[in-house]
Amino acid sequence: MSFEFATATRIVFGDGAVQQVAPAATQWGQRVLVVTGRSPEPGNRLSADLDARGAHTVAFTVAGEPDVDLIKRGLREAREDRCDVVVAAGGGSVIDTGKAIAGLLTNPGEISDYLEVVGNGKPLRHPAAPLIAVPTTAGTGAEVTRNAVLGVPSANGLKVSLRSPLLLPRLAVVDPQLTLGLPPAITARTGLDALTQLIEAYVSIRANPVTDGFCVQGIALVARSLRRAFHHGAEPEPRHGMALAALLSGMALANAGLGVVHGFAAPVGGRFHAPHGAICAAILPYGMDMNVRALRDRAPESIALHRYQEVGRMLTGHAGATAEDAISWARDICQEFAIPTLGVYGVGERDVPGLVLESAKTSSMKGNPLVLTPEELREVLSRSI
């Protein structure tokens, strides 16, 4: 057995942890780019804390999922203001933006030099500018992953990664209190994204003993916390559970990889205006079902098949649960949360062949427990529409 494990240099988790951001940032520099999403509150609070410590702050807003043009604009502003530290407070899109800007601040050339698939795929040579990642949702685990997912408008919105171990944040600050105000719809789709990441990392061909522990703990946390966070969002306990589950999911996926659901999420998200978590949630039950059927047919001795059964036990709490119970649990919670089908976002049968071809090339698909045939991939996507 051989594997590697990498994560953020330092992780701080707990209620009130956000108070540690300003002291840490000002140890590394005095000119701080503060990246936030549509809601200004997290950024305003952090900017005030930084200003109180004598730092100069520059605000940069991410209105949606990032693309290369947004990164170029943020990079230009950061360089013009001579920023030497980046603080990214928001969801996965905000943190990915912060990672990309921090990485490119210290490396020469254009962003296209470093992008996968559509770029030259060159490795980053120099450590990124110090980055502090502060998630305000409980889903992507982007605060502990080594890539930034970016849209490429010139390639019909194709989503690709800027990827390097050097993009891992210097500090990840996970404060569950920052998620208390999340609306139910965002709670649902980000939470189901975290669950998808945990399940896919657990059955991945790159799973290892370290990531297995994160996945087992994380899936159990989702099972007992997600419904409560959705229906009783002001309660601290389920928010605490989901924040920890999302953190664990990020550490798991960054080191064990993903699978068929995320393999589809990138091309679907690139072509259609749909939140990443909503895409994953819509596909999850059908991706699980196809994997289980294909494993039973072509690899009945695979450990992944046993692990799907374990997922069923963890989600339902029943010792005799099966893989089919795991699939039913995922399908039922998607219905309970009114997760839209992909068809709501404009995906139709006409799009299936092209999306299947694109998904087969994604890095996420390489972690799937077995290679699915084009026909099997078409069925997964068609059932999700």
Domain-embedded: residue 2: no
Q: Taking CA 243 as the corner, what is the angle to CA 240 and CA 245, rounded to the nearest 5 degrees? A: 105
Which DSSP letter does residue 115 get?
B
Domain-embedded: residue 3: no
Same domain for 156 and 31: yes
Domain-embedded: residue 6: no
CATH value at residue 157: 3.40.50.1970
- Measured distance CA(200)–CA(105) in Å, rounded: 33
Query: How far is residue 141 from each of residues 8, 105, 349, 356, measured CA to CA in Å?
Result: 11, 23, 32, 26
Same domain for 256 and 170: no
158, 178, 167, 160: which is closest to 13 by C-alpha? 178
Domain end call among 119, 150, 178: 178
Domain-embedded: residue 227: yes
Tokens of 295: 């494993």
pLDDT at 111: 94
CB contact set of 203 (below 8 Å; sequence gap of 6+) = 259, 291, 304, 307, 308, 311, 369
Q: Is the dihedral of CA 151, 72, 90, 144 positive or negative?
A: positive
- Measured distance CA(190)–CA(242) in Å, rounded: 10
Same domain for 136 and 202: no
Q: What is the pLDDT along the chain (385 residues), one digit of tens a residue?
A: 788 899 999 999 999 999 999 999 999 999 999 999 988 788 889 999 999 999 999 999 999 899 999 999 999 999 999 999 999 999 999 999 999 999 999 999 999 999 988 888 899 999 999 999 999 999 999 999 999 999 988 887 788 899 999 999 999 999 999 999 899 999 999 999 999 999 999 999 999 999 999 999 999 999 999 999 999 999 999 999 999 999 999 999 999 999 999 999 999 998 998 999 999 999 999 999 999 999 999 999 999 999 999 999 999 999 999 999 999 999 999 999 999 999 999 999 999 999 999 999 888 999 999 999 999 999 999 999 9
What is the number of domains present in the chain?
Answer: 2
pLDDT at 181: 86
Domain end call among 178, 208, 228: 178
CATH value at residue 358: 1.20.1090.10
pLDDT at 43: 87
Same domain for 62 and 120: yes
- Measured distance CA(381)–CA(59) in Å, rounded: 39
Q: Torsion over CA of 364, 366, 367 and 368, rounded to 10 degrees?
A: 100
Same domain for 355 and 265: yes
* Residue that is written with structure tokens 């998630």 in the block: 135
Which residue segment(s) compose the domain that 324 sits in?
182-384
Same domain for 216 and 169: no
Can you give the pTM of this predicted structure? 0.96
Contact 342, 350 (CB under 8 A): no
Same domain for 336 and 251: yes
Domain-embedded: residue 194: yes
Chain-centre distance for alpha carbon 31: 28
Helix segments in 160-275, DSSP class H: 184-203, 209-231, 236-256, 260-271
pLDDT at 353: 97
Domain-embedded: residue 229: yes
Domain-embedded: residue 223: yes
Domain end call among 178, 204, 231: 178
Same domain for 210 and 130: no
Same domain for 220 and 142: no
Same domain for 170 and 47: yes
Same domain for 200 and 172: no
Which residues sit opposite 60 in a β-bridge?
Answer: 35
Domain-embedded: residue 333: yes
Same domain for 80 and 135: yes
Contact 222, 242 (CB under 8 A): yes
Q: Is 8 helix (H, G, I), strand (E, B) or coil?
A: coil
